[in-house]
Structure 1
């Protein structure tokens, strides 16, 4: 199987590379289309969700009413159970039994109704915030289109992360080979007495000084028994693991700060045509000169939190063999707490880097200012975050699914080709499709990660713009005319 997979990859690699190039182009096209169709996509998605939830409520109620008139729960699925059936059949029978219970559909009805109510409330009372989110998404598209080098910049970070990962693996292999040889004595019914001690069969010995035993035990031999790990290796493994966490978070922090500085420069330039051509290079030089300490401190906090989570996972695996409900509950609570803590620290760190890129303050002051600013606009933060996440997830899934479907039809020869198109016949056509799918999702994540950073940066700049400026000649607004129109503001 492995030989056939390698043969398939050697025959199909040009098509895999071509599919990944097409995925990059589709990501660029999607980002550009967001500039004009972001509002349409957001509202269409919301109305589609409303329609889907309404249909779920209707279907659940009809099924609940039908089972209620039929006399309650139906046991038809469970009555046909066979002891000789396989595990899949048993699972299928259990699922059918659950779906024939009227209270199952009552639960579905309640869940659908609650979700429908939440979406309707959001659409009715937060529609103005949704309009602001759509306008900021359009602004992010303009910023990315204005500074196209930001789309290539993540590749530089990716190369740095590959180098760090390679160094980690190199150190890991070196530590794994940090051993010393162990020699043990082999002798027949005799004991060797030396100044350093007494040797018996199976005792450790030193081949350089063991020759003195040959006088009393002529058949004694000090032979190689095996290798033993150095005592300090486990501590160095822990140090190496902490180093990889810190360096990976540090590289990500540098990338976020450089992109934040780039997009903040674009926002705070009143006339966008005056944005410097080499904005990202200027931002890179500024971050490396002034703010490496900020990135290192923020990534250190995340690294410590990640190490604690790894230790908790290790303890959880070790304690699984002990049937102690209290210990399992405590570990579960601790794992959940530190998972939430890491997510919160990542959120605060990202916004702290943006504030640091705008004002140049240290990490703690930037984190405090960002947190206070976001708390003063918590509803806008929630709406923008969810709207952006939904659109980017929609884009990732659409591009990945489209490329995978196209590649599947190509490699399975379900499409008609011209004579000059020679698609190779593969042993496993699914192999290149899976590789293309994973690569496409990774490329989409890289491109949309830049776009997400642009949205978050412009959002904080927009909030600062609203609080710092009043539209006068001395303090004009830097936001777009569309945003000023939504907020009923204007420059005098």
Structure 2
């Protein structure tokens, strides 16, 4: 049957016209569907728009897939470059850690000094300008921030704040200069330890594979749980049928009256549902499955941390490095962790998984209460989310140091967590200085790796490098491989620097233990490097007491 049609949104529809905002079929604004129900033509147009969106999304997905097929080997080359840059940065830290840290400190002071100068210049420029001497209390709250930038009082406040921060930083550098030197020496020592245990740089791949197994197990179990309910079948028919949309049984469907009254009707699967006894507890099983995923994922991460901590601790406590170290530090540490410490790792992971599950539930409640008008409930929920976020960060920090103590002494989780906590509290200033210096340095390294590789990928895939312009593949969306390379580079850099950060934390705890346990005598010699001994004015005595 031929039906008169007109183009609409680049699709053909039966005689659809748009006049004065009213969609019409012929001279009518309604039509009858397959169930003989009168519907508005705008419903048909909305459905067509949705179908158009689906088709366009499919076309975009196909183009993205084509981009991956022609650029996958270049993406791999970009990730290899990111790995090499990360390795070079870790090696450079061994020789240039002190220079890099002091350069960053000087640049920070210089930037803040320029900020003070700029605020003073703006403050002087606005002198005599109409409306610039109005006080902040007089104008009240303004949604347009630019209003405040035309006031002298704003720039005066900025200048005072920056001056206070500048003075505080300079005073901290003066009084904490010795501890900063200790942090630099520990970072150099960590580079030497990584150089002696090169297998540690590829060990995160083992942790990554364990996490992939955990994710796959959780996803497969979730799919089985969601499809293990009662299957619901319904009658589907293209023509008018009184039984359309009703439930049916595929085994007995062919012998019922439905096939006689509606010859074109079929009994097809619709969805999983039903009101069975099992269906009532399905959500409980899904929550339990997700909780087990959190527990297993945290256990895999904890296993990686205690393995690396054991390997780097064996480096520190070797009196003659590297002669007194085990032949394979990573494998020896992994064997000890699996044989003696799985219970402690499981307990620490359980505590963290419980807090993470509570956080997920709070996020779910927050999503459900977004449309509610109860201000107190939203405020209470926001406070709970903030508290549990802080609790999760604290537990992660405590677990990390507890795993280091487990690797050193082999004690259980509770004893190790207590000893690590009080050891850090007795050296809180050293902890703060070392933690901030190391975090900032590693963050700079990640930005360096991602920035270098991202810029190189951008110029390559946009064909802006003339020398290799013809080598770059022709793409539908050049941002697809660029974004893939950037994300992959960040993950690779994070893997390298997480090993480095774990090494610094392990050596730092070993260093604190070394100071408290030993006195430099022949019976209790220091195990720290000679550079650290010079910084602390410590020295090991020989057998004659000299």
TM range (shorter): 0.7 to 0.9
Whole-Å Cα distance in 2 between the matches of residues 111 and 19 of structure 1? 43
Asked if residue 172 in structure 1 is aligned to residue 231 in structure 2, the reply is no
Other-structure match for 1:412: 462
- The answer on whether the counterparts of 2:234 and 2:248 sit within 8 Å (CA) in structure 1 is yes
2:96 aligned counterpart, secondary structure: helix
Other-structure match for 2:310: 261
Report the Cα offset of residue 183 of structure 1: 7.8
- The answer on whether the counterparts of 1:23 and 1:443 sit within 8 Å (CA) in structure 2 is yes
Asked if residue 402 in structure 1 is aligned to residue 452 in structure 2, the reply is yes
Matches within 5 A, 1:294-313: 294-313=344-363
Asked if residue 125 in structure 1 is aligned to residue 175 in structure 2, the reply is yes
Unaligned runs of 5+ in 1: 76-90, 186-201
Asked if residue 45 in structure 1 is aligned to residue 108 in structure 2, the reply is no
Size of the aligned set, in residue pairs, is 457
Other-structure match for 1:454: 503
Asked if residue 5 in structure 1 is aligned to residue 64 in structure 2, the reply is yes
Other-structure match for 1:437: 486
Other-structure match for 2:184: 134
1:166-215 per-position Cα deviation (integer Å, ceiling 9, x unaligned): 11111111111122145899xxxxxxxxxxxxxxxx999999999xx99x
Asked if residue 96 in structure 1 is aligned to residue 146 in structure 2, the reply is yes
Seen in structure 2, the aligned counterparts of structure 1 residues 256 and 225 have a Cα distance that, compared at 3 Å, is: closer
Asked if residue 24 in structure 1 is aligned to residue 83 in structure 2, the reply is yes
Report the Cα offset of residue 415 of structure 1: 2.0
Report the Cα offset of residue 422 of structure 1: 2.1
Pairwise CA RMSD: 3.0
Unaligned runs of 5+ in 2: 1-59, 135-141, 236-244, 262-266, 274-278, 542-546
Other-structure match for 1:71: 130
Whole-Å Cα distance in 2 between the matches of residues 71 and 366 of structure 1? 65
Asked if residue 245 in structure 1 is aligned to residue 287 in structure 2, the reply is no
Report the Cα offset of residue 19 of structure 1: 1.1
1:269 aligned counterpart, secondary structure: coil
Whole-Å Cα distance in 1 between the matches of residues 446 and 537 of structure 2? 34
Other-structure match for 1:115: 165
Other-structure match for 1:189: none
Seen in structure 2, the aligned counterparts of structure 1 residues 278 and 113 have a Cα distance that, compared at 3 Å, is: same
Matches within 5 A, 1:338-377: 338-377=388-427
- The answer on whether the counterparts of 1:178 and 1:233 sit within 8 Å (CA) in structure 2 is no
Other-structure match for 2:264: none
Asked if residue 35 in structure 1 is aligned to residue 94 in structure 2, the reply is yes
When structure 1 is superposed on structure 2, of 173-182 and 382-391 the one drifting more is 173-182
**Higher RCO (Cα < 8 Å, 6 or more apart):** 1
Whole-Å Cα distance in 2 between the matches of residues 359 and 378 of structure 1? 22
When Rg is computed on C-alpha atoms for both structures, the one with the higher figure is 2
1:19-73 per-position Cα deviation (integer Å, ceiling 9, x unaligned): 1111111111111110111011111100100000011011112212322431343
Other-structure match for 1:466: 515
Whole-Å Cα distance in 2 between the matches of residues 367 and 250 of structure 1? 16
1:231 pairs, out of 267, 280, 286, with: 280
1:374 aligned counterpart, secondary structure: helix
1:272 aligned counterpart, secondary structure: coil
Structure number having the greater helix percentage: 1
Whole-Å Cα distance in 1 between the matches of residues 508 and 485 of structure 2? 34
- The answer on whether the counterparts of 1:181 and 1:224 sit within 8 Å (CA) in structure 2 is no
Seen in structure 2, the aligned counterparts of structure 1 residues 99 and 469 have a Cα distance that, compared at 3 Å, is: same
TM-score w.r.t. the length of structure 1 is 0.86
2:209 pairs, out of 159, 171, 174, with: 159
TM-score w.r.t. the length of structure 2 is 0.78
2:202 aligned counterpart, secondary structure: helix
1:202-257 per-position Cα deviation (integer Å, ceiling 9, x unaligned): 999999999xx99xxxx9xxx88955532221011000110111111000000000
Seen in structure 2, the aligned counterparts of structure 1 residues 291 and 225 have a Cα distance that, compared at 3 Å, is: closer
- The answer on whether the counterparts of 2:201 and 2:499 sit within 8 Å (CA) in structure 1 is yes
Whole-Å Cα distance in 2 between the matches of residues 67 and 170 of structure 1? 65
